[in-house]
Amino acid sequence: MPAALTCGEPAGIGPELAAKAWRELGTDLPFFLIGDPTHLPGDCPVIVISDPAQTAAACVRGLPVLALPFPEPATPGAPARANAALVIDAIRTGVDLVQAGKASALCTNPIHKKALVDGAGFAHPGHTEFLAELAGVKNVVMMLASDALRVVPTTIHIPLAEVPGALNPGLIADTIRITHQALKRDFGIAHPRLAVAGLNPHAGEGGVIGGEEIATISPALEQLRAEGIELTGPMSADTMFHAAARKQYDAAICMYHDQALIPIKTLAFDSGVNVTLGLPFVRTSPDHGTALDIAGQGAANPTSLIAALRMARDMAQARAGG
Amino acid sequence: MSLPKIGLMIGDPGGVGPEVCVQAMASGRAQSRGDLVLIGNACAVERAVADTGVKLPVVAVSSMEEALNVEGLPVIECGALKRSEFEVGQSSAASGRAVKAWMDEAARLSQSGALDGWIMAPINSDSMRLASVADNLDALQPPGTFMFRLSGPLRAVPIAEHVPMRAIAATVTRERIEHVIGLTDANLRRWGIASPRIGVAGLNPHAMFEEDRDIIAPAVKAARAGGIIVEGPVTPDAVFRQCIQGKYDAVVTMYHDQGQIALKTAAFAGACTVYLGLDYVQLSVPHGTAYDIAGTGTAQYGSMVAAACTALDLAAGRGFLAMKDDEVAP
């Protein structure tokens, strides 16, 4: 079964990345794009399909596109207001197809949130929350994954000063449970080992440098250990990501955005993949934005999208039982 | 200028410090860059020589001039430690007192210009407490200094050290950021980088919140108006990779773990810390006393070699020379 790739913001680098990904992956990893075929670079062979089942045959000759006609052309760098609703429709279509069993996994190209707010009154903080609503789930978790490391931030796009107040044992426990289950189901790891970061320098050093480790994190970890989840922590964040330490766990649970993002991006700037855990289907996306400033020049680097498509395939296979 | 001169304060006598110091010196890997001398008591150095099997005589001296004429391992003798007063692998008040005397002498020699600076081998917080010198190692950081940490091409200096997360935002002030940017620029120039390029990390995710906009951005703008080549606030998850790729010579970070996570994740060979804000170079190595393996001669001394090379290069204004892994491997 093919993977579905949404077009994302057509004025960004999504179209050229889709074309580059097809050139790289060809028939090895059949996927189809949901979007407007006219938005793609002129030199990309395009095969318009009417059903995802045609992907395998079509991808031999060109990039299979499940056509969703947009009202406006794609002007690199300048999102068209009238296109916003269709960008959202493409996501909706992708979710419908993957839920209906017509696509193996959903991979999403980046959206430009402001363009969607201005053009279509998009009311969700981001892609992930929108997907959770479409899927009817309340708690989802963001994972960043590369060959070297998997990280999960417990809190995401909030100011650092608000992180201590946002953390509570329930949130930490939910994040860990969802991650643990996903490692088993989607990554094929029978007995996942998790490492949990502290919040403060040196994980608080026994309460000397902040008390959240003792008051908030450890109680959650005790509860989870009682449930049989294998984890270590709260660990000093500055020593848990070096090469030897990374071998000791399958994913690192972090307390704030940059605690998770700094190590993975310092190690793998281009090949990190954003994965949403806790959805009823597999969803990955490249770990970058629409890059409006370089769109249309052919300069965009497809490494992360290619890695995202590969990871989507692997996860879908693991979920289907190998 | 004449060859730079750097002292190696041997660190807690019961830890691996004396061992890595004598092995680093005996390896001869740093001495093409300048002159090295040990600072401590000969009895502690002799202990390390015996434990590591280094085949060089230990020679007590009273000055750097004297040390230059010594064949073997010269030790500027200070403090009053006796061999009977410490056990390998254990902390002691005598060790703490001795380390304090050695640190003071190293600083005095550096201030007077007899040395161009010194390196602090690992010291032990229990020994320092037992000797009533300091309650914790943070208290021994020279006042007004900032810890500039480097690991290969990645270099980062935080505007504050061990601050609880709840209190971090309050430490992010325009004055402090401007001060550290200025200090970083001045030191990089003194160390031999003609036109240093500095990146300033934002505080928040994607550098897109209040402090990034209202505090960090104006601080960077003011520093730039003062002639410093500086950018920021840069997205914290991108700035370290950009430094590794050569876009910046150093990154000013907003809190301890921001830079430490990147440095220890990347973990290039030759990691060490330089204290910004002194007239001479003072460095430390990124490992502790390792009491569990002290006395076995198995501690890796590559970090001490790297620190010695770095200290000599910075003191001579030669900048940061690329060090290959095998140059600083034990």
A164 at interface of B, judged by CB pairs closer than 8 A: yes
B211 and A157: CB-CB below 8 Å?
no
User: Smallest Cα–Cα separation from B314: which of B200, B201, B186?
Assistant: B186
pLDDT at B268: 85
Interface residues on B facing A, Cβ-Cβ cutoff 8 A:
154, 161-166, 168-169, 203-206, 209-211, 236-238, 240-241, 244, 255-258, 260-267
Residue B57 scores a pLDDT above 90: yes
In this structure, the answer to whether residues B123 and B171 fall within a common structural domain is no
pLDDT, one tens digit per residue, over A170-186 is 999 999 999 999 999 99
Q: What pTM did the predictor assign?
A: 0.92
Q: What residue in B sits closest to A255 (Cα-Cα)?
A: B165
Residues of chain A contacting B267 with CB distance shorter than 8 Å: 242-243
Q: What residue in A sits closest to B242 (Cα-Cα)?
A: A266
In this structure, the answer to whether residues B135 and B281 fall within a common structural domain is yes
A5-22 average pLDDT score: 97
B262 and A266: CB-CB below 8 Å?
yes
Inside any domain, residue B179: yes
How far the first Cα of chain A sits from its last, in Å, is 14
The pLDDT-based confidence of B202 (bands split at 50, 70, 90) is very high
Nearest to B162 among A158, A202, A267 (CB): A202
Inside any domain, residue B270: no
Distance CA A139, CA A121 (A): 23
B257 and A157: CB-CB below 8 Å?
no
Percent of chain B with pLDDT over 90: 90
In this structure, the answer to whether residues B258 and B313 fall within a common structural domain is no
Distance CA A117, CA B155 (A): 40
Inside any domain, residue B269: no
A238 and B163: CB-CB below 8 Å?
no
**Which residues face B197 on adjacent strands?**
B229
The pLDDT-based confidence of A322 (bands split at 50, 70, 90) is low
B236 and A159: CB-CB below 8 Å?
no
Contacts of A276 (CB under 8 A, 6+ apart): A128, A131, A132, A140, A141, A142, A143, A283, A284, A285
Distance CA B158, CA B4 (A): 28
A106-128 average pLDDT score: 94
Distance CA A72, CA A10 (A): 10
Inside any domain, residue B245: yes
How far the first Cα of chain B sits from its last, in Å, is 30
Return the residue in B206, B261, B268, B325 with the most chain A beta carbons within 10 A, the one to mutate for interface testing: B261
Mind telling me how many Å the CA of B46 is from chain A's nearest CA?
33
Distance CA B291, CA B201 (A): 36
pLDDT, one tens digit per residue, over B236-295 is 999 999 999 999 999 999 999 999 999 999 988 788 999 999 999 999 998 899 999 999
The pLDDT-based confidence of B136 (bands split at 50, 70, 90) is confident
What CATH number does the domain located at A1-139+270-322 have?
A: 3.40.718.10
Residue A223 scores a pLDDT above 80: yes
Mind telling me how many Å the CA of A163 is from chain B's nearest CA?
8
Percent of chain B with pLDDT over 70: 97
Distance CA B78, CA B81 (A): 9
In this structure, the answer to whether residues B197 and B158 fall within a common structural domain is yes
pLDDT at A110: 96
Q: In this structure, what CATH number is given to the domain that contains residue B32? A: 3.40.718.10
B3-26 average pLDDT score: 97
pLDDT at B323: 63
Mean pLDDT estimate for chain A: 96
Cβ pairs bridging A and B (under 8 Å): 102
In this structure, the answer to whether residues B287 and B138 fall within a common structural domain is yes
Residues 201-230, chain A: which have Cβ within 8 Å of B?
201-202, 204-205, 209-212
Between the alpha carbon of residue A287 and those of residues A115, A134, B257, the distances in Å are 19, 22, 22
- The verdict on domain A148-267 having CATH code 1.10.510.10 is no
Q: Please name the amino acid found at residue B115.
A: L
Q: In what order do the strands lie in the sheet with A46-49?
A: A46-49, A63-67, A31-35, A3-6, A106-108, A283-286, A273-277, A141-145, A150-153, A251-254, A193-197, A230-235
pLDDT at B329: 56
Give the tokens for residue B99.
Answer: 């380390």
Nearest to B166 among A159, A164, A262 (CB): A164
Q: In this structure, what CATH number is given to the domain that contains residue B249? A: 3.40.1010
Return the residue in B216, B239, B265, B273 with the most chain A beta carbons within 10 A, the one to mutate for interface testing: B265
The pLDDT-based confidence of A105 (bands split at 50, 70, 90) is very high
A137-159 average pLDDT score: 94
* Beta carbons of A253 and A143 less than 8 angstroms apart: no
B17-24 average pLDDT score: 98
Q: What DSSP designation does A293 have?
A: G
CB atoms within 10 A of CB B210: 12
Distance CA A209, CA A200 (A): 6
Residue B177 scores a pLDDT above 60: yes
**Which residues face B151 on adjacent strands?**
B154
Inside any domain, residue B222: yes
Inside any domain, residue B167: yes
Mind telling me how many Å the CA of B124 is from chain A's nearest CA?
16
B89-114 average pLDDT score: 97
Inside any domain, residue B225: yes
A201 and B206: CB-CB below 8 Å?
no
In this structure, the answer to whether residues B91 and B239 fall within a common structural domain is no
In this structure, the answer to whether residues B99 and B128 fall within a common structural domain is yes
Range list for CATH 3.40.718.10 in chain A: 1-139+270-322, 148-267
Q: Mapping DSSP to helix (H, G, I), strand (E, B) and coil, where does residue A62 land?
A: coil
In this structure, the answer to whether residues B9 and B126 fall within a common structural domain is yes
Distance CA A116, CA A82 (A): 10
Mind telling me how many Å the CA of B268 is from chain A's nearest CA?
10
Pick the last residue of a domain from B238, B264, B290. Answer: B264
CA dihedral angle for residue B34, residue B183, residue B288, residue B3, rounded to 10 degrees: 0
User: Smallest Cα–Cα separation from A151: which of B201, B240, B261?
Assistant: B261
User: Token match 């890997």: residue?
Assistant: B29
User: What 3 state SS string does chain B have?
Assistant: CCCCEEEEECCCCCCCHHHHHHHHHHHCCCCCCCEEEEEECHHHHHHHHHHHCCCCCEEEECCHHHHHCCCCEEEEECCCCCHHHCCCCCCCHHHHHHHHHHHHHHHHHHHHCCCCEEEECCCCHHHHHHCCCCCCHHHHCCCCCEEEEEECCEEEEECCCCCCHHHHHHHCCHHHHHHHHHHHHHHHHHCCCCCCEEEEECCCHHHCCHHHHHHHHHHHHHHHHCCCEEEEEECHHHHHHHHHCCCCCEEEECCHHHHHHHHHHHCCCCCEEEEECCCCEEEECCCCCCCCCCCCCCCCCHHHHHHHHHHHHHHCCCCCCCCCHHHHCC
The pLDDT-based confidence of B327 (bands split at 50, 70, 90) is low
B237 and A258: CB-CB below 8 Å?
yes
Residues of chain A contacting B262 with CB distance shorter than 8 Å: 262-263, 266
B306-319 average pLDDT score: 95
B264 and A242: CB-CB below 8 Å?
yes
In this structure, the answer to whether residues B280 and B226 fall within a common structural domain is no
* Beta carbons of B72 and B49 less than 8 angstroms apart: no
The pLDDT-based confidence of A273 (bands split at 50, 70, 90) is very high
pLDDT at B326: 58
A116-133 average pLDDT score: 92
pLDDT, one tens digit per residue, over B145-162 is 999 999 999 999 999 988
Residue B309 scores a pLDDT above 60: yes
pLDDT, one tens digit per residue, over A52-102 is 999 999 999 999 999 999 999 999 999 999 999 999 999 999 999 999 999
A159 at interface of B, judged by CB pairs closer than 8 A: yes
In this structure, the answer to whether residues B294 and B254 fall within a common structural domain is no
Burial B56-66 (b: 16+ CB within 10 A, else e): eebbbbeebee
Mind telling me how many Å the CA of B260 is from chain A's nearest CA?
5
Residues of chain A contacting B153 with CB distance shorter than 8 Å: none
Q: What is the domain range of residue B234?
A: 153-264
A265 and B237: CB-CB below 8 Å?
yes
Q: What residue in B sits closest to A239 (Cα-Cα)?
A: B264
In this structure, the answer to whether residues B196 and B81 fall within a common structural domain is no
In this structure, the answer to whether residues B68 and B164 fall within a common structural domain is no
Number of domains comprising chain B: 2
pLDDT, one tens digit per residue, over A300-314 is 999 999 999 999 999
Residue B61 scores a pLDDT above 60: yes
Biggest alpha carbon–alpha carbon distance for chain B: 61
pLDDT at B213: 97
Mind telling me how many Å the CA of A108 is from chain B's nearest CA?
21
Inside any domain, residue B210: yes
